[in-house]
Amino acid sequence: MVAPLGRFRHPAQAVVTGFGLAMTIGTLLLSLPVATEEGRRAQFLDALFTATSAVCVTGLVTVDTGTHWSLFGELVILGLIQAGGLGIMTLATVFALLMSRRLGLRARLVAQAETKTFRSTDVRRVLRNVVLFSLACETVVAVVLTTRFALAYDESLGRAAYHGVYHSITAFNNAGFALWSDSLVRFAADPWIILPICAAVIVGGLGFPVVFELARSWRRPRGWSVLTRVTVAVTGALLAGGTLVLTAAEWNNPATFGRLSEPARWLAGFTAAVMPRSGGFNSVDVAQMRAESWLATDVLMFIGGGSAGTAGGIKVTTFGLLAFVVWAEMRGDTRVHVGHRRLPEGTQRQAVAIALLGVGLVVAATFTLMAFTSHGLDRVLFEVTSAFGIVGLSTGITTELPPAGRILLIVLMFVGRTGPLTLATALALRERVRRYELPEERPIVG
């Protein structure tokens, strides 16, 4: 699988192509009659949308997963989620290692682009750790969920195990696919179901480099890298702030938190703050949430989770670094410092570019989608941000969109998974290196 990668001039091209190939294969498999409960071919757009949502670990759907797709279809979706979560190119490199026991320079660069490792010599070790860690986390969560389903909900051991494994994989990969039409609403007050799923979403969304560093040096926070410091700090702040804001906004809403006990309301608030980081599950009806809750969720979805993980959005690292850039500008500093390290100007430009590209894409897609539907700005913006952030939360309008609207969401999910800069780099035939500098002139800003 790695050999054809030599045809690409940049590893990012192979990453984008790999995801596109996986979407194509998934669409073909879900188009088979055996993939649906009724034994008839699914509509092509439904198959394409579901395959894209699974590979891009989003969770938006146009048909109900638990009732429309057969066991074969559900397993195809689960396979696409696992492949998309680990990264198509990561899996390709792992398979090449297993078959040839060798890893060429081209494959190292491809895997490096996908896993965001810093040295090509680290790739072999990182790939092994990523796969083992992912499987270990999914196994632990699956055991907890299986036990709970079997003991508290009178499910047979086989059915409980299937539900446990399925939702542990979708949770760790931040995919948001549930086998129930109401997602996790029926378990809103059950911490033995909600908390393991939330934990899997958080760990999977932190990013593999951060998780590995925390595992090595969790007792020595002063020795953490800038990446880990920013990711942990911003993630903690967003979880705490999101829980408080969403719980306060929905506390007396009879259609959401109002029907729950006080402890269950806090649990629902924590869940509502966790899932926008790309988890995609919901324990209350999102369509019944207040407009201010949608806006707060939009912000959380746009920021997303950690770099080199299973989450989407512009990433908490980007958001955190931009905050440091603004703080340095307000202080009048000529350099941006994070902790005891200086932030390179190239990293600052990259953070600004990612954020602005994300804002521009969301605004343009929202404007376009409003031309295809009669729904208001708040619902359309929520759906677009959910697709771009590969989250999967929905106010319920995805199933009502015309074909043009669904195709737009497919493009957003693909771009959200591969990343605006990765996609732009993949499309570029070559990198430009300026061999001269122009005279400097400072315009008026503000």
pLDDT tens digits, residue range 186-217?
A: 999 999 999 999 999 999 988 888 888 888 88
Residue 434 resides in a domain? no
| Residues linked to residue 341 through DSSP beta bridges, in sequence order | 338
Q: Is the pLDDT reported for residue 99 higher than 80? A: no
337 in any annotated domain: yes
Report, as an integer, the average pLDDT of 41-56.
Answer: 95
143-156 pLDDT, tens digit per residue, is 999 999 999 999 99
Domains in the chain, number: 1
Is residue 13, in this structure, part of any structural domain at all? yes
Instruction: State how far the Cα of 74 lies from the Cα of 68, in Å rounded to an integer.
Output: 9
The yes-or-no verdict on residue 355 having pLDDT over 60 is yes
Structure tokens at 196: 């393991």
| Residue 383: alpha-carbon gap to chain centroid | 15
The Cα–Cα gap between 71 and 21 comes to 23
Q: Is residue 34 part of a domain?
A: yes
339 within domain boundaries: yes
Per-residue model confidence as pLDDT tens digits over 241-299: 999 999 999 999 999 999 999 999 999 999 999 999 889 999 999 999 999 999 999 99
The Cα–Cα gap between 53 and 392 comes to 8
| Domain housing 10 | 3-425
Residue 95 has pLDDT above 70, yes or no: no
Res 42: pLDDT:
93
Q: pLDDT band at 110, cuts 50/70/90?
A: low
Q: What is the pLDDT of residue 4?
A: 46
Tens-digit pLDDT profile for residues 376-424: 999 999 999 999 999 999 999 999 999 999 999 999 999 988 876 565 5
Map residue 69 onto helix, strand or coil: strand
Which pLDDT score, from 0 to 100, does residue 278 have?
87
What the block records as the tokens of 418 is 């591969």
Supply φ then ψ for residue 69, to 5 degrees. Answer: -95, 145
- Cα separation, 369 vs 390, in Å, equals 17
Residue 436, in any domain of the structure: no
Query: What is the overall mean pLDDT for the chain?
Result: 86
Region 41-58 average pLDDT:
94
Q: What is the mean pLDDT of residues 362-368?
A: 96
Residue 226 has pLDDT above 70, yes or no: yes
Q: Which residue has the higher pLDDT, 331 or 90?
A: 331
Could you give the CA distance from residue 325 to residue 251 in angstroms, rounded to a whole number?
A: 36
Q: And the tokens for 97? A: 């290692």
Query: Could you tell me the pTM of the whole model?
Result: 0.89
**Neighbouring C-beta atoms of residue 392, cutoff 10 Å:** 32
Q: Is the per-residue pLDDT at 362 higher than 60? A: yes
CA distances for 413 relative to 160, 175, 353, angstroms: 31, 12, 19
Residue 33, domain member (yes or no): yes
99 burial (CB, 10 Å; 0-12 / 13-18 / 19+) is exposed
| Nearest alpha-carbon partner for 45 in 31, 57, 32, 64 | 31
Q: Quick one: pLDDT at residue 7?
A: 57
What's the whole-number mean pLDDT along residues 39-49? 94
DSSP-derived secondary structure for 310-368:
S--SS-HHHHHHHHHHHHHHHHT-SS-EETTEEPPHHHHHHHHHHHHHHHHHHHHHHHH
For residues 103-113, average pLDDT: 58
3-class SS of residue 252? coil
Q: What's CA 4's distance to the chain center, in Å? A: 28
Inter-residue contact 176 to 280 (CB < 8 Å): yes
